[in-house]
Amino acid sequence: MVTEVINANELHKMDPVFGQLSFDNHEQIVFCNDKDTGLKAIIGIHNTVLGPALGGTRMWNYSSEWEALNDVLRLSRGMTYKSAITGLNLGGGKAVLIGDAKTQKTPELMLKFGEFVNSLGGKYITAEDVGMATSDMDLVRTVTPYVTGISESKGGAGNPSPVTAYGVFMGMKAAAKYKFGSDVLEDKVIYVQGIGNVGEALVENLSNEGAKVYISDINQDRLEEVRDKYSVNIYGGDNIYAEEMDIYAPCALGATINDFTINQFKAKIIAGAANNQLAEEQKHGKMLREKGIVYAPDFLINAGGIINVYAELENYDRKEIMRKTENIYNTTLEILKKAEAENITTYQAAFNVAQARIDARKNEK
């Protein structure tokens, strides 16, 4: 008999799905594979109490399948609470495609993914996310009706990025009102980390307001393009977290608020578009609170995108999209005040409101 000694770091792989730290009683996890197109995808359906699970599709060159699974579990869970706190009749879902969107995304791969989405019969509705474009959603639409964020010319609400950014802008202004007594961002020093579609649109809003904006991204060409377009500053240092600033706006991937960064933060407010900004929600939410940093919960203030695509399901117009997105300001202010009154973190306050709505609907059923 051979006895194998398993490294402690490998123990979690003995329960690779239900033992995942990010598994939170997800209803369904779908693994999609197609040899001919090279498709490797995971669809996570977290909760459908309030309605079908809607969430974008992300294509990313993950270092491992384990990393991809963790991402889709966290993201789909976040969508549940994003829809709940925004008052939408939607559940939470997400999809990730494993691969490089620049070199491995093909029409055939997207069509095959659309067929997998269609096989779920509407339990999951997809949309655009990192590595995707509106044209990809148009293509998916040719094989399934369960997709949102299609071109306006095809009857859709179009690119959700500007609406997402506007919601973040509203949440940021509400946080400023709470922290500084005024929501005017003129002359505030704001660092935007990640200049994708949403990050750029946020920079535009901030520039129009007269803020002193610094931008950071791994793509130098992109930085120079956005700098020249909006007359903002490129951050040239090597540790953005330790810089003196009024507001830190994470708009790239998640978990930038962690043990390492919190101890260095000099920002007074954190409000950005990235999902899952807190590496550990309870622990790091509490650490921010103890440092006196106002955290605008990500799943609350970045909900503009889902408001935008929800319009395709509910048939409301652009004016209503912007009205609902602008209301993120009021909800954010309410959550910040609720957290203070109840002596809890802002994350917990937002989570409690969202969970209460889900529980109330479950009880009705």
Looking at the annotation, which residues are catalytic? 94
Q: Quickly list DSSP for 252-319.
A: SSS--BSHHHHTT---SEE--S-SS-BSSHHHHHHHHHHHT-EE--HHHHTTHHHHHHHHHHHT--HH
Q: What's the Rg (C-alpha) of the chain? A: 20
Cα 118 to Cα 145: distance, rounded to the nearest angstrom: 7
Q: List 125's β-bridge partners, or say none.
A: 54
Alpha-carbon distance 300 to 78, whole Å?
Answer: 10
For residue 197, say whether it is annotated as part of any ligand binding site: yes
What lies within 8 Å, CB to CB, of 235 at 6+ separation is: 191, 214, 215, 216, 243
Q: Is 194 annotated as a binding residue?
A: yes
The answer to whether the beta carbons of residues 26 and 45 sit under 8 Å apart is yes
For residue 149, say whether it is annotated as part of any ligand binding site. Answer: no
- Annotated binding residue 198: yes
Are 147 and 113 a contacting pair, CB within 8 Å? no
- Tokens 């909006």 belong to 230
Task: Give the DSSP H or E segment for 53.
Answer: strand 53-60
Write out the binding residues for NAD(+): 194-199
